[in-house]
Amino acid sequence: MNSSKIINFIIAIFLPPLAVFLARGWGIECIIDIVLTIFFFFPGMLYAFYCVLFD
């Protein structure tokens, strides 16, 4: 695990959509995470961890 993934994990705790955007770019993953974060913060955070981990 390199330093950029560690930083993305830290960002995913506070701003999950930003972490997904930095890991995957603007796409369906980012839109899904925005919706999850707006309605349910914790699933949005978990999805951001998933996107950062498997990038």
Q: Residue 52: its pLDDT value, please?
A: 92
Residue recorded with tokens 């996107």: 51
pTM: 0.88
Q: Is the distance from CB of 51 to CB of 24 less than 8 angstroms?
A: yes
Task: Report phi then psi at 8, rounded to 5.
Answer: -65, -35
Q: Which domain holds residue 40?
A: 3-54
Q: What is the DSSP letter of 25?
A: -
Q: Is the distance from CB of 51 to CB of 23 less than 8 angstroms?
A: yes
Please state the domain count of the chain: 1
Q: How do residues 1-55 score in pLDDT, each as one tens digit?
A: 788 889 999 999 999 999 999 999 999 999 999 999 999 899 999 999 999 999 7
Region class of 31: left (phi > 0), else alpha (psi between -120 and 50), else beta? alpha
Q: Residue 55: its pLDDT value, please?
A: 78
